[in-house]
Amino acid sequence: MASARILQNWSVRIGASVIAAMVLVAVAAPWLGTVDPSLFDAGSRDLLPGQSGDITTLEGETLRHTFLMGSDSFGRDIYSRVIYGTRVSLVVGIATALLALAAGIVCGLGAGYLRWLDGVLMRFMDGVMAIPAILIAIALVALWRGSIFTVVVAIAIPEIPRVTRLVRSLVLTIREEPYVEAAIALGTPTWKIMFGHILPNCIAPLLVQGTFTCAFAILVEAILSFLGVGLPPDIPTWGNIMAEGRAQFVSFPHNVFFPGIFLAVTVLAVNILGDGLRDTLDPKMAKRV
Amino acid sequence: MSVLEVNDLSIDLPPGGDRAQAVSRASFAVGRGEILCLVGESGSGKSVIAQGVMGLLPRTLPLAGGSIRLEGEELRGIGAARLRQLRATRMSMIFQEPMTALNPVMTCGEQIDEVLRFHSGLSAGDRERRILDIVSEVALPDPARIVASYPHQLSGGQRQRIMIAMALVLEPALLIADEPTTALDVTTQAQILGLILALQKKHGTGVLFITHDFGVVAEIAHRVAVLRLGELVEIGTRDEVLQRPRHEYTKMLIGSVPTLKPHGRPADPGAPIVLRTRRLSKTYVDRHWLAHAREVRAAEDVTLEVRRGQTLGIVGESGSGKSTVARCIVRLVDPTSGEIRLGGDEIATMGAAALRPLRRRVQIVFQDPYRSLNPRRTVGEAIIEGPLNYGVSRAEALERARKLMALVRMDGAALSRYPHQFSGGQRQRICIARALAMEPELLIADEAVSALDVSVQAQVLELLEEIRTRLNLAMLFITHDLRVAAQVCDQVAVMSKGRVVEYGPAEEIFLRPQHEYTRTLFEAAPGRHFAFGST
């Protein structure tokens, strides 16, 4: 019943369709007329979108290739790099959201339900929130060296306090509900009350928060890569492509334009999906539409 | 001429509701100086009529037909500007919840002044005098202080007086009162009803009074209109409707109102004691490391006994500590001092681990049937949760759940459905089944019928009574409603400000109350002198 209502919402429909298309693109990347994104050819440097040129495979074979989005200053195919970059962005976005939610749920349930833990844990979270998210992420990636895993962890950590606060505030209201008190009277163990009664009633706002975290993570990953502190340059990500195109932006704007469009559309779609979910899942908001 | 004339009024519900119209072809009139009570159960459309008259209907509930005339002027299709002029000057409204109806960031004086500023040409000095006049007219002490106070600094009754002052300051011809005393304690309710009566008589205001409480109707109505699922089923003078109801539905409703006479059932004084508290106290301490600790004594020296097969009622107004006592006994809160003896076990100071095996012996049913069941769990899951916690196998627990559903007169198929698919009364039955699944010795009903409509309330009370006799349960029945207490209790403890002021057999307390507070409470019970027609 609830799922039918969610699917009737146009924001959800549009956001989910765009994301589904992106996932499809990421999965089907090798079959979308792409070449290995790390291939380059000195003869095909700085081609404009739609131009043809040669590209040399690792085996030394030279292929004729149409550069749909042009090529960069090394003669790499931007189209292939952008398409493969979709994989990185989606993985980082989704993994970060899941990680931040999982950690935030545990901390938030603990702080909200076990009052002795609340003071210590929340002051620590306040401390983390006092440092700008990007700075923490830069520091952590610098400390660990860039890989998808470290980038995900580095972006997730500053997001954890936000999720924790959300979960804690939800727990503080839900724990006073008579059905929780009834469960206590029924002798239900504390962990079962936390995960069996309280958590399922937090899901709707968490889903919404998850989408916003996901969008933010995609953006931060691009920012880190753009600043050169994210993933190493040999992995194609939208941020990396834009960073490398930056120097030539005036003469060859396509280097920045195409990854930028993908980034903007993806983040927008995730945010639209989040807005739609909020409108349909939050009964108070739903009443107003 | 009538102040308000409503003819053939129909208001649509959005498609997909349980019926097509919130109100269908309702006709009634309120005369000058007359109080018309609009009675009905929840969902009958009584508040929608009030909103329709005031022009406050949400866009989802369009006026579908009929006419509304205020002093002869048709309100249907009237412009927003004219409607705004009429509100406060010719008609005004008071609401159920005086805290949310007042703006918390404005003083009471400013809020009354706002009405005068927009609707009267009075000068600032005249307005100030008028405000002080009306505040003393609604019998608030020290008007100058009250006018300068913010709503949170006043009690519920005082806030409702401010609402009445605001509504009456421009002497409107029509006052709509939408359940104005439902959120108030019974003694405050009696005062507010008295105030509305006095002011209405003095100014000759026509009053459309909306309520679900027949006691209140008996107290103040001149005429009564009974509403059922949007249809006006009966209208007549108070005595006609309450004593000689013609329509079946009215008869059923009035038959469901419990009497104030104790039931007079003999109780065995030698029955074994299931629960005994001695000098039970709970003090809440609000500690903050920067401020002084604040202490609230919620319950003090409460000594009670509940015997097997009998019902002890705890009666009191809000804040009297009756729920605190219940929550201490279930150990949802830890008592500060005193003893709680359950059979042979002293549980007041028991640690969580030692307490666990004893929890199943005391079960509780709460007031709000909409919040007592986890919305994300099926009814079956809710009922078997307790037995599963104590090692009963799933199959056995489900079997027990099916039997209990039959006991609370519900269909076994309900087990696989979710709580939102049931009405309030059905949910309360499910909560009772959940409590009984633990096979408790003591069942606590904490205002368990207070949120229910009177006809549903009667059914649930009957069910509780049947269960108590059949299972020979001890019951602790907490209520603010003296009528309900009279119907179910063998013993009664009257609580006020955290203390038990009077305690004894129900018969004694109801017929010969000793303590002054108990007498005040009974005096305040609405409709106490009124004999409702039997069916």
B44-100 pLDDT, tens digit per residue, is 889 899 999 999 888 888 888 899 999 999 998 888 899 998 988 899 999 888 778
In A, which residues are within 8 Å of B366 by CB distance?
178, 181-182
As beta bridge partners, residue B365 has B445
Extents of the domains making up chain A:
2-18+86-242+260-288
Is residue A104 a contact partner of residue A169, using CB atoms and an 8 Å limit? no
d(CA B383, CA B416): 11
Per the CB < 8 Å rule, is B371 touching A179?
yes
Q: Given strand B91-94, what is the order of strands in its sheet?
A: B91-94, B174-178, B206-211, B35-40, B223-228, B231-237
The ipTM value here is 0.81
Copy the structure tokens of residue B441.
Answer: 């010795």
Q: How far apart are CA A188 and CA B360, in angstroms?
A: 10
Q: What's the token pair of residue A25?
A: 């693109």
Query: In the block, which residue shows the tokens 């799922």?
Result: A3
A283, pLDDT greater than 70? no
| Structure tokens, A266 | 């993806």
**AA letter at A139:** A
**What integer pLDDT is reported at residue A261 of this predicted model?**
92
Residue A285 has a pLDDT of: 47
A226 token code pair: 């753009």
**What distance in Å separates residue A179's CA from the closest CA in chain B?**
4
Do the Cβ atoms of A208 and A274 come closer than 8 Å?
yes
Tell how far CA B2 is from the center of its chain.
Answer: 32
Alpha helices in B360-453, H assignment, sequence order: 379-389, 394-407, 424-436
- Residues in a beta bridge with B226: B39, B234
B 389-408 residues with CB below 8 A of A? 389-390
Measured between beta carbons, the chain B residues lying within 8 angstroms of A283 are: none
Task: Provide the pLDDT confidence category of residue A69 given band limits of 50, 70 and 90.
Answer: confident
**Cα-based angle A6, A8, A11 (whole degrees, multiple of 5):** 80
Distances, alpha carbon B439 to alpha carbons B201, B363, B379, B397, B467, in Å? 56, 9, 18, 12, 12
Q: And the tokens for B83?
A: 């409607």
Query: Contact at 8 Å (CB) between B207 and B196?
Result: yes
Average pLDDT, chain A: 87
* Secondary structure, 3-state, A92-119: HHHHHHHHHHHHHHHHHHHHHHCHHHHH
- Our measurement of the distance from residue B327's CA atom to the centroid of its chain's CA atoms, rounded to an integer in Å, reads 20
Q: Around Cβ A113, how many Cβ atoms within 10 Å?
A: 21
Structure tokens at A32: 């979308």
Residues of B in contact with A119 (CB under 8 A): none
Tell me the residues of chain B between 324 and 363 that have a Cβ less than 8 Å away from chain A: 327, 330, 332, 356-357, 359-360, 362-363
What class, spelled out in words, does domain A2-18+86-242+260-288 have in CATH?
A: mainly alpha
Instruction: Please state the pTM of the whole predicted model.
Output: 0.83
| pLDDT tens, position by position, A167-208 | 999 999 999 899 999 999 999 999 999 999 999 999 888 988
Q: Do A200 and B362 touch (CB under 8 A)?
A: no
Question: One-letter amino acid identity for B248?
Answer: E
Confidence of residue A140 (pLDDT cuts 50, 70, 90): confident
3-state secondary structure of B305: strand
Residues of chain B neighbouring A178 (CB-CB closer than 8 A): 366-368, 371-372
Q: How many secondary structure helices (H) and strands (E) does chain A include?
A: 12, 2
| Cα–Cα dist A152/A231, whole Å | 10
d(CA B216, CA B519): 19
Residues with pLDDT less than 70, chain B? 533-535
**pLDDT greater than 80 at residue A224:** yes
Nearest CA in chain A to B436: A186
**Looking at the partner chain, which of B363, B367, B385 has a beta carbon nearest the beta carbon of A188?**
B385
Residue B445 is inside which H or E element, if any?
strand B442-446
Dist. CA B60–CA B43, nearest whole Å: 16
Residue B360 to residue A186, Cβ atoms within 8 A: yes
The CA distance from A229 to A247, in Å, is 17
∠ CA B441-B442-B447, rounded to 5°: 155
pLDDT band for position A286 (cuts 50, 70, 90): very low
Report the alpha-carbon distance of residue A33 to residue A63 in Å, rounded. 13
pLDDT at residue A282, as a whole number: 66
Burial A230-266 (b: 16+ CB within 10 A, else e): bbeeebbbbbbbbbbbeeeeeebebbbbbbbebbeeb
CA–CA separation, B258 vs B74, rounded Å?
41
**Axis crossing angle, helix B186-203 with helix B156-168, rounded to the nearest 10:** 10
Which distant-in-sequence residues (6+ apart) come within 8 Å of A248 by Cβ? A46, A73, A255
Quick check: B375 and A201 CB within 8 A? yes
Residue A289 predicted with pLDDT over 60:
no
**d(CA B351, nearest CA chain A) in Å:** 13
Tell whether B386 is within 8 A of chain A (Cβ).
yes
